[in-house]
Structure 1
Amino acid sequence: MADNPGEPSAGFIEGREHVLPVRVYYEDTDFTGVVYHGSYVRFFERGRSDFLRVAGVRHAELLDREDPAAFTIVRMEIDFRRPARIDDALQVRTVYDRVKGPRLFIGQRILRGGDLIAQAAVQAACIGMDGRPRKPPPGMAQALAPYFAEPETPA
């Protein structure tokens, strides 16, 4: 459900998993109507960002802090299982598994009904504006703590 009328939905959380409905549009496909591999990276990004949004972590607020923070992807491993096609209704399912120092470990899946389309293992790092790794801000870590499979581990 959207926070405000007229705003797009950021999805919802089921247990530890964020669910983001995504529709495949023409722009997401190659000339055959099959989803282009690069589009999956965008779908996964939306899932990670909207999970944070639903959990109360906003990118703009992280940047407006006295000690601004942002994220960079340091590793992404994707397994493509089945093709998705134009007009498919997909679900991007995201789990923030744990944090270790500046790194966040994230598991993601894209489903069409009960079919696994693609899955990703992602490592993101929290960084300062100088590009150097840093621990996530305390408010962010607290907002995500209920969703971690494992408690925070020292770096």
Structure 2
Amino acid sequence: MTPAPPTPAPGEPSAGWIEGREHVLPVRIYYEDTDFTGVVYHGNYLRYFERGRSDFLRLAGVRHAELLDQETPSAFTIVRMELDFKAPARIDDALQVRTTYDRVKGPRLFISQRIVRGETLIAQAAVMAACIGLDGRPRKPPPGMAAALSPFFAPDADV
């Protein structure tokens, strides 16, 4: 059973919502997101994907600041990201960043993401992140984090 997403506090921006295993984050394309041709600049997709991963964690009850405040502080680093651009996004487009945390193996988190405009796939990413200590060394994610994410992993995931 997927936990119900928390309701944002008044005045707090929405962190999207969760549908089954997938987090959905709406993104509007503004003029500042585009290049001189009116198409979204390719580097901005990395920002949208980052927002999707972070807001998924937030809705699952995992907050970056709290990870740093633990007795043994933890953070994340991206170790690998494979991107495929399928169609251009343009100014005023209403997109959705769709994110799934697929599994955790040791310090690594495997994440699938896609950006869509309606039924059109704009971009997709396969991401491998690693949990690290403040010394930069890999470490297993804190037990509370793994427990918060486990309802969202693929049914056959190694945890």
Bucket of the pairwise TM-score, normalised by the shorter protein: over 0.9
Q: Which residue of 1 aligns with 2:54?
A: 49
CA distance in 2, matches of 1:35, 1:81: 12
CA distance in 2, matches of 1:64, 1:109: 31
Aligned residues: 153
Q: Which residue of 2 aligns with 1:58?
A: 63
Q: Which residue of 2 aligns with 1:21?
A: 26
1:118-154 superposed Cα distances (whole Å, 9 cap, x missing partner)? 000000000000000000000000000000003434x
Q: Which residue of 2 aligns with 1:89?
A: 94
Three-state SS of the structure 1 residue aligned to 2:43 is helix
Deviation at 1:2, TM superposition (A): 4.7
Runs of 5+ consecutive residues of structure 1 not aligned to the other structure: none
1:40-83 superposed Cα distances (whole Å, 9 cap, x missing partner)? 00000000000000000000000111100000000000000000
Instruction: Map residues 2-151 of structure 1 onto 2, 5 A cutoff.
Output: 2-149=7-154, 150-151=156-157
What RMSD, in angstroms, separates the aligned Cα atoms of the two structures?
Answer: 1.0
CA distance in 1, matches of 2:84, 2:14: 27
> What is the TM-score normalised by the length of structure 1?
0.96
Detail structure 1 runs of 4+ shifted over 6 Å in the superposition.
none
CA distance in 2, matches of 1:15, 1:21: 17
Deviation at 1:32, TM superposition (A): 1.4
> What is the TM-score normalised by the length of structure 2?
0.94
Q: Which residue of 1 aligns with 2:3?
A: none
CA distance in 1, matches of 2:95, 2:107: 31
- Could you tell me whether the CA contact under 8 Å between 2:102 and 2:157 is conserved in 1? no
Q: Percent identity?
A: 80
1:10-63 superposed Cα distances (whole Å, 9 cap, x missing partner)? 000000000000001111110111000000000000000000000000000001
CA distance in 1, matches of 2:31, 2:55: 22
Runs of 5+ consecutive residues of structure 2 not aligned to the other structure: 1-5
1:90-139 superposed Cα distances (whole Å, 9 cap, x missing partner)? 00000000000000000000000110000000000000000000000000
CA distance in 1, matches of 2:21, 2:124: 17
